[in-house]
């Protein structure tokens, strides 16, 4: 029974009730990204608005995290958009690779109850997020309840699809540029080389933006907001990891 539950947690094979609109019900996303503490969120907001040439997308986000033996599992509620998100990302300070799987749900309350019963809730993160698009990068400015202000820089990289372990062939699937859409590779080596090149390109794009925005290495964070909240609470998970009283208490 335990092995079955761990497998379900890892693969996120959880049936959700998906909204009956024309949005994508589920998707997979690969990124190169960093997270960093920031001292002056208004200064960075001004710089990003100038770089993006547009006003940011603003919303509140409420993430509930669940016990997961491989990667992280959270339910995100943000206005009319509610998503179950499973992701894998190493805890490292520099630009790192992450893989996300998203599934929309129209009944987050029921799903939260089911997930808490099945896996156990490890804590919640509440934040106000401003999102900017600068070139191919998605940049988020976050005011996180109980933690402070942060920036996230994410550059999407192609996803390998239809990989055949027998012959080694596969193909790229990417949404950020038509140039890499549905490229087929005859050998595993060709696919591997191209994916490594894309990874390095993503790392350089993130590092270039760090330079432009004057994000120093000492500001970088190696984990998730949930990790920081648990660390703040002395390693205790569960309901005690919910944010301390703050301006966000009326959310």
The pLDDT of residue 168 is 40
Mean pLDDT computed over 32-54: 97
Domains of the chain, by residue range, sit at 2-157+219-241
129: CB partners within 8 A, 6+ apart: 58, 59, 60, 61, 140, 141, 142, 143
pLDDT for residue 6: 33
Distance CA 28, CA 9 (A): 17
How far is the CA of 220 from the CAs of 76, 107, 224, in angstroms? 24, 35, 11
pLDDT for 247: 42
Percent of the chain with pLDDT over 90: 63
Give the whole-angstrom CA distance, residue 228 versus residue 251: 21
Residue reference for tokens 């595993």: 188
Strand partners, 170: 185
CATH tag, 2-157+219-241:
2.40.320.10
C-alpha 112/C-alpha 35 separation (Å) is: 26
């Amino acid at each position: 029974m335990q092995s079955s539950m761990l497998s379900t947690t890892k693969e996120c094979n959880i049936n959700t009730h998906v909204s009956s609109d024309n949005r994508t019900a589920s998707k997979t996303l690969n990124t190169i990204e960093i997270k960093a503490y920031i001292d002056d969120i208004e200064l960075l907001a001004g710089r990003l608005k100038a770089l993006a040439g547009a006003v940011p997308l603003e919303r509140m986000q409420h993430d509930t995290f669940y016990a997961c033996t491989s990667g992280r599992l959270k339910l995100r509620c943000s206005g009319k958009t509610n998503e179950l998100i499973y992701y894998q990302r190493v805890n490292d300070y520099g630009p790192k690779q992450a893989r996300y799987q998203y599934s929309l749900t129209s009944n987050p309350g029921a799903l939260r109850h089911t997930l808490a019963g099945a896996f156990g809730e490890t804590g919640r993160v509440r934040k106000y997020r401003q999102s900017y698009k600068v070139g191919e990068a998605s940049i988020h400015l976050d005011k996180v309840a109980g933690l402070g202000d942060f920036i996230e820089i994410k550059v999407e990289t192609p996803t390998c699809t239809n990989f055949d372990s027998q012959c080694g062939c596969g193909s790229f699937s990417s949404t950020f540029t038509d140039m890499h859409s549905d490229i087929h590779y005859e050998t595993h080596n060709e696919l591997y080389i191209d994916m490594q090149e894309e990874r390095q390109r993503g790392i350089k794009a993130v590092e270039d933006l760090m330079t432009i925005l004057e994000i120093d290495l000492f500001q970088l964070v190696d984990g998730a907001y949930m990790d920081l909240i648990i660390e703040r609470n002395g390693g205790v998970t569960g309901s005690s990891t919910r944010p301390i009283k703050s301006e966000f208490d009326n959310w």
